[in-house]
Structure 1
Amino acid sequence: MTDEGVGRRIRELRQEQGLLQAALVKPGLLSAGYLSLIESGRRRPSPEVLRYLAEQLGTTPDHLATGRQPDLWQETERRLAFAELALQHATAEDALREFEAVTRSGPPPFHARAELGRARALELLGRTEQAITAYEALWKAAEPGTALWAERATDVLRCSRDLGDYGYAADLGERAMATFEDLGVEWSDSAVRLGVTLAGVYIHRSDLVRAAHLLRRLIEISDGTGSPLARGSAYWNAAVTAHYQGRGADAKAFADRALALFGETDHQRNLAVLRTFYGELLLDGEPADPGQAREFLLDAHDRLTQLGSPAEISECETYLARAAVQLGDLDEALRWAQAARSRLTADAAPVAEAEALIALGMVHLAANDPAQAFAALDEGERALAHAAPGRSVVNLWNRMGSLHEERGDTTAALRSYRQGLTAAGYRQPSRPLTRSDVTASAG
């Protein structure tokens, strides 16, 4: 055996389980300094130390010494590989069962990998609150400032954002970024993606100035790292910011850059969601291009049905419904809108539910069916009333107001626009000002 190989296996197993070196220290047997020398290959562990480390890491001394895996490990590896493959082929329920089985009875070195798979399966199944709990446990177990720690923090931020808990997501993201600054850790892909996700939270809660400032910094940093994934993520969120700021040309230029960069990676799910956003840009453009938007969205939909969450697929289907309405194909529009509505689970985020219902109301209105349109919009209004304030909520209230105007219900339209103002942070006075109020103020 080589000292370097033994040390590498000990270090990898420790990090996979989210353990700090201090957690393995045993007075009179193993100090932190001794462990550091072992992991770096500069000291050979004694048989007693090797047995102790194997016990703590859930493996055998022979595996640490030679790299040979016990038979049980090979079976567990096979089960995890099957579950991870199932996640990529839209069978998250099967994957979840395998991950949970390994967590319950598999060897300890595989538990962290199984827990991560379980969290991802829960997220894909739309069980976002449970996914957050699982991701948080993995994040807290990781060593602060490491790439693994940043990746799990990003997972927590993403799920919190999707649930509309922007306050918690922003606080966590800012604390995580401050940890990097305090530790003096060099920027990595994982750290850049964490920052980009935090910028996305700012965008959703309508803090576009802060988002733009952070993204400018991240683009500068990521352009220096040469990583297509980190750079693509930064340009993508810059495109979203520009879109919400009404800078359509800049949004499309940033999105074109992001698409090119993501095309160099194997992150197919992210690429599919980005293509969905690009379809939205084409639908909202001046002039709109529903034909090209439909092509992008159909491609995104094919990918997402294999890799995406119910909310991501539903969002793509709402845009396909919008494209079909603009193209005059109301039968196709109705199919997409109904698919978007039926796809969401009972615990779907209110924004996702409202978006699908508004799309359904839009299609019914285009088909000259005001009664069905009102029923869908009324249900959408109830869902949206439970959503946390943010940019997407403001946009949905405004879209709902426009549809109410189309159907001639000015009272409902005014109510929706007022709700949009509230979601944007505007607080209406408790009663209208009167002439006497103005006179008293002037006096």
Structure 2
Amino acid sequence: MDTTAAGDGEGTGRRLRELRRARGLKQQDLASDDVSVSYVSLIESGKRTPSAAVVALLAERLGCTPGYLLTGQDDTRTRELELKAAFADRALHNGAGGEALQAFSEVLASAPVLPRATVRRARLGQALALEQLGRLDAAVQALTLLYEDPQCVAGSAEWSRLATALCRCHQALGDQVLGVETGERALHRLDQLGLEATDDHIQLGAVLVGCYRTRGDLAKARLLADRLIRIADDRGGRTAQRETYWNAALVAQSQGRVDEALALAERARALLAESDHVRHHALLRGLYGTLLLCSDPADPERAHQLLGQSHTQLADVGTPLEQASAQTALATACLRLDRTAEARGHACGALALLRDEPSRESAEARAVLAHAQFAAGESRQAQETLRAAAQQLRQLPPARSSAAAWRRIADIWHQYGYVAESTAAYQQALNDAGLPGLLTPTPWTGTPGPA
């Protein structure tokens, strides 16, 4: 008589069915000379308890241990997968989004043998890796499923992290309305719960500051940034303080308060000094270098050095958009130093990294390229490049960020003597900034007024 394996037959059958489906297998894929398809079906329905030999055979084909099929526990495999998840977390932290995505996906392939908390951790990591790789639509879809899951408790660290990531992704996709709505609803919910602010909550607010700034609502951005700085300095950790000062520096830059922006960025860099987060170091170097180009007096040599370091680091750990922005900023520094050929190379490198869809970043890279082409005496090519940049901007909704790009285009036209083109671009910049011109007046046909 065949000796049966110890364990719950019905539970064994259920785990067998769940794991087979998770692996994308059919019952016939588990069948062999010793185990028929019908026998597999009977096991899965709980009508047969398999022998130890059959359990071992099925476990081998499913890539699990016999112990998991029998009891639902597989401590060795669970430990291996949790170590892989920890490796994926580290890869994500270091900016290796591709490695992180692969490792998290491998963990999720074995979801049925894992504790629920580990599965959710891997799903969140997978979504953040997609964001880091610039696959924003897929990231938003994955983040939304987790955020709207009833198991996600409002106010928890996971909930705050999801809200922050969603707000950040919507901003990166150019949907400032949804980004702001997501951030404001989350902060309002936290206020309702009456919870003491944590680092996660402060970072959520910092991302919302960025959304306000990108939308052009600089007054709101500054008010929230000032509030967050007070909270972060009072009871926030170094990470929360850094994120707050970083975004406050960007707001100050947008408002033309360059000296204040430099001081805030320096504070953020000091808070980052002990961190090993290469990507954040690179981004902050880039911000500081950009501010040095705008300062009075400007320091293009130091800016070029910092922007070059930022570009080199982001080539390994940055998203395509971050890499492109770094190249555009570096090209601008090269122009200030009369390194025309180098500027053109970096501007072309930025355009190669950007998608074909219209974007402010692509328009700005084209504007810098056109400036380099004018400086090199390539007038015809420069005009074509500037018109291509303008064409892209016309396809974007009016915003302060697009107004700044129009202003750059207008300045370049003006510098090289194209009066009509510069006037039109300046007008468009005013329109996008929310300052449209007066309606064309109706020609006067009556008698003149008194002298």
TM bracket (short chain) = 0.7 to 0.9
**Normalising to structure 2: TM-score of the pair?**
0.76
1:72 — aligned with what? 77
Instruction: Tell me if structure 2 keeps the 8 A contact 1:259–1:271.
Output: yes
Q: Percent identity?
A: 36
Q: Distance in 1 between matches of 2:275 and 2:445?
A: 63
Q: Give yes or no for contact 2:344–2:372 (8 Å, CA) kept in 1.
A: yes
Contact 1:229/1:265 (<8 A) preserved: no
User: Take 1:136 and 1:415, find their aligned partners in 2: how far apart are those partners?
Assistant: 42
**Residues 175 and 90 from structure 1, CA distance in 2 versus in 1: closer, same or farther, beyond 3 angstroms?**
closer
What secondary structure sits across from 1:433 in the alignment? coil
- In the TM superposition, 1:125-164 aligns within 5 A as 125-141=133-149, 142-164=152-174
Change (3 A) 1:71 1:369: same
**Structure 1 unmatched ranges of 5 or more:** 1-58
Map 1:79-228 onto structure 2 (within 5 A). Answer: 79-84=84-89, 86-87=91-92, 92-107=97-112, 108=114, 109=116, 110-141=118-149, 142-228=152-238
Give the counterpart letter for 1:420 in structure 2: A
- Cα root mean square deviation, aligned: 2.8
Instruction: Output the amino acid matched with 2:271.
Output: L
CA contact (8 A) 1:96 1:122 kept: yes
CA distance in 1, matches of 2:254, 2:119: 42
Aligned to 2:426: 417
Other-structure match for 2:440 = 432
Alignment-derived partner of residue 401 in structure 1 = 410
Which AA in structure 2 matches 1:376? T
Match among 310, 319, 323 for residue 329 of structure 2: 319
Instruction: Report the alpha carbon displacement of residue 101 of structure 1 after superposing the two structures with TM.
Output: 4.2
Which structure exhibits the higher relative contact order, with contacts defined as CA atoms closer than 8 Å and separated by 6 or more residues? 1
Q: Indicate the larger mover: 183-192 or 292-301.
A: 292-301
Amino acid at match of 2:131: E
Match of 1:28 in 2: none
Deviation at 1:265, TM superposition (A): 3.0
SS at match of 2:141: helix
Q: Residue 309 in 1 paired to residue 323 in 2?
A: no
Name the counterpart of 1:247.
Answer: 257
CA contact (8 A) 1:324 1:333 kept: yes
CA contact (8 A) 1:83 1:98 kept: yes
In 1: Cα distance, 2:193 partner to 2:171 partner: 26
Instruction: Say if 2:288 is the partner of 1:278.
Output: yes
Q: Does the Cα contact within 8 Å between 2:96 and 2:317 map onto a contact in 1?
A: no
Structure 2, unpaired ranges of 5+:
1-63
* Number of the residue aligned with 1:337: 347
Aligned to 1:235: 245
Mapped partners of 2:353, 2:407: distance in 1: 24
Residues 126 and 345 in structure 1, CA contact (< 8 A), matched pair in contact too: no
Any conservation in 1 of the 2:198–2:236 contact (CA below 8 Å)? no
One-letter identity of the residue aligned with 2:415: E
Aligned residue type for 1:96:
L
| C-alpha deviation, 1:72, in angstroms | 2.8
Query: When the two structures are superposed, what TM-score results if normalisation uses the length of structure 1?
Result: 0.78
* Alpha-carbon separation, structure 2, partners of 1:173 and 1:364: 42
Q: Is the 8 Å Cα contact of residues 95 and 278 (structure 2) preserved in structure 1?
A: no
Counterpart of 1:289, as a letter, is D
SS in 1 for 2:148: helix
Q: Note if 1:262 corresponds to 2:272.
A: yes
1:123-182 CA distances to partner (integer Å, 9 max, x unpaired)? 232222221222222222321111221111111111111122111111111111110110
In structure 2, distance between residues paired with 1:438 and 1:285: 53
Contact 1:318 1:359 in 2 (8 A): yes
Distance 1:432 1:280, change over 3 A: same
Q: 1:402 & 1:224 partners in 2: Cα distance?
A: 44
Query: Retained in 2: the 8 A contact 1:164–1:387?
Result: no
How far apart are the structure 2 equivalents of 1:251 and 1:424? 21
C-alpha deviation, 1:400, in angstroms? 0.8
- 8 Å contact kept, 1:89–1:306: no
Q: Distance in 1 between matches of 2:339 and 2:159?
A: 48
CA 1:85–1:184 in structure 2 vs 1: closer, same or farther (change >3 Å)? closer
The 1:154/1:389 distance shift into structure 2, 3 A limit, reads farther
Q: CA deviation at 1:398?
A: 0.3
- Cα distance in 2 between the residues matched to 1:249 and 1:195: 24
In structure 2, the CA distance between the partners of 1:428 and 1:170, relative to structure 1 (3 Å rule), is same
Q: Is the 8 A contact 1:318 1:340 kept in 2?
A: yes
Larger mean Cα displacement after TM superposition, 294-303 or 68-77: 68-77
AA aligned to 2:365 is A
Tell me if the contact between 1:320 and 1:333 (Cα under 8 Å) persists in the aligned partners.
yes
1:438–1:257 Cα change, 3 Å? farther
Tell me which residue corresponds to 1:39: none
Q: Distance in 2 between matches of 1:419 and 1:365?
A: 22
Contact 1:228/1:264 (8 A) holds in 2? no
Q: Give the whole-Å Cα distance in 2 for the aligned partners of 1:407 and 1:239.
A: 32
1:209 is displaced (CA, Å) by 1.1
Q: Distance in 1 between matches of 2:293 and 2:366?
A: 18
Deviation of the 1:79 alpha carbon: 4.1
Provide closer, same or farther for how the CA distance between residues 86 and 174 of structure 1 changes in structure 2, counting only shifts above 3 A: closer
Q: Which residue of 2 aligns with 1:52?
A: none
Distance 2:383 2:321 in 1: 23
Matched letter for residue 112 of structure 1: R
